[in-house]
Amino acid sequence: MTNDALHCTPPEISKETERLHEQLHKLGWTREGCRLLAPTTLEINRLKKEQGAIILVHSYQTPDIMYGVADFVGDSYDLSRKASEHPARKIIFSSVYFMGETAKLLNPEKEVLVPKKAGCSLADSITAEQVKKLRQQYPEAGVVCYVNTYASVKAESDACCTSSNVQAVVEAMPQEEIIFIPDQMMGLNLRNMTSKTIIPWQGTCIVHDEFNENSIMQIRQQFPDAEILAHPECSPGIVNLVDFVGGTAAMLKHVQNSSATTFMLVTECGLTDRFKAECTDKNIVGSCILCPYMKEIGLTDILDTLKNPDPENRVELPPALAEKARACLDNMFALEKTAAAAD
Ligand code: 13P
Ligand code: SF4
């Protein structure tokens, strides 16, 4: 990025500084810090408008991205939906690569770009070949893949699921035996949520794997009035000890609707920042465990992607593979409907 490209007048900078500061001061940002950010967010927002693009941002991204340039902030499920429903022809997906792939699968005709091809310990834990081997090993079982998988793995699975619909999807599957990939913890948690036989893969999220039962008990002692919320990528031992289990969107809804005043989030610290900025009437106690993949992306990567995308930024999938992977996502939406009708 070259700074001379960022032409902004002093009044524009002042106005943008105030806009950024309105949200970011809640997270300790100074006005001066926001002023330094302002030329970049102004330029990104100008280019976005000029190109008819939208910027989708996962809740684990940094606050300067969330409050500076995002059109929508959400969980992997909401963002995939948003990508399909919004009329924009160009999507910049500020998150890890598998989410960009999901957006492309759901919007084959749209241009989907990612600021960095960032990995994920769960998505990186399994290949399409390994799914084929599992199928041979358990020929009667259906395969449900968590959304944290690459398109090549989705293409070999029967249905996808996200943290918001995992139980509904697994229960609506026609098979009684389910190979659940790639999150071992979510698979083990599922065993306590359904009567189906769950065969989990051994992938783990390096963020949620950092927490343990002792750390939860220490939090209880330190903050006896706090409600503790955990992501379903945490171990069953943790899930058993906490007050609420849900994906990032479900956690936000829970905090907004709960009468409790203090909350502890057992998840990536980007979400803690989001809650601190958006739930100002609540006391949010965060752990700070960063996802190094999510944090690979910075504002300047988004700017470079808009100004001068290279082939690495562009999400392209071979048509035959995309068709199979899309069927896996379509099946998720169909199974969700079946589950809702049965309720
Ligand atoms: P959700 O936002 O869908 O709950 O997923 C969390 C996550 O780990 C994304 O990588
Ligand atoms: Fe993957 Fe965990 Fe990072 Fe989410 S938080 S992107 S699951 S490593």
pLDDT surpassing 70 at residue 5: no
6 pLDDT tier (thresholds 50, 70, 90): low
Residues with CB under 6 A from ligand 1: 59, 75-77, 96, 120, 148, 162-163, 205, 233, 247-248
DSSP 226: P
With a CB cutoff of 8 Å and minimum separation 6, the contacts of 164 are: 75, 77, 246, 247, 249, 250
Residue 254: what are its φ and ψ, rounded to 5°? -60, -45
Q: Kindly state the tokens that stand for 2.
A: 């070259």
Section 1-13 average pLDDT: 71
Looking at per-residue confidence, does 271 or 153 come out higher? 153
The 10s digit of each residue's pLDDT in 244-295 is 999 989 999 999 999 999 999 999 988 898 999 999 999 998 777 999 999 9
User: Architecture of domain 123-205+318-342 in CATH?
Assistant: 3-Layer(aba) Sandwich (3.40)
What does the pLDDT read at residue 285?
A: 86
Q: Where are the domains of the chain?
A: 3-119+294-309, 123-205+318-342, 208-285
Residue 328: what are its φ and ψ, rounded to 5°? -65, -40
Residue 140 C-alpha to ligand 2 middle, in angstroms?
Answer: 30
pLDDT surpassing 60 at residue 118: yes
pLDDT surpassing 80 at residue 172: yes
The 10s digit of each residue's pLDDT in 126-151 is 999 999 999 999 999 999 999 999 99
Nearest in space to 45 (alpha carbons), one of 306, 301, 298, 295? 306
DSSP 182: S
- Gap between the Cα atoms of 44 and 54, Å rounded: 11
The 10s digit of each residue's pLDDT in 181-212 is 999 999 999 999 999 999 999 999 999 999 99
Residue 207 C-alpha to ligand 2 middle, in angstroms?
Answer: 6
Ligand nearest to the CA of 274: 1
With a 6 Å cutoff on the Cβ, whether 96 touches ligand 2 is yes
User: Architecture of domain 3-119+294-309 in CATH?
Assistant: 3-Layer(aba) Sandwich (3.40)
**Secondary structure in 3-state letters for 241-297:** HCCEECCHHHHHHHHHHCCCCEEEEECCHHHHHHHHHHCCCCEEEECCCCCCCHHHC
pLDDT surpassing 70 at residue 1: no
Residue 208 C-alpha to ligand 2 middle, in angstroms?
Answer: 8
The reported pTM is: 0.94
CATH fold group of domain 208-285: Rossmann fold (3.40.50)
Residue 246 C-alpha to ligand 1 middle, in angstroms?
Answer: 10
Neighbours of 127 (CB within 10 A): 15
Q: Which atom of ligand 2 is the closest one to the Cα of 183?
A: 7
Is residue 7 classed as helix, strand or coil in its secondary structure? coil
- 53 neighbors 91 (Cβ within 8 angstroms): yes
Q: Do domains 3-119+294-309 and 123-205+318-342 have the same CATH topology?
A: yes
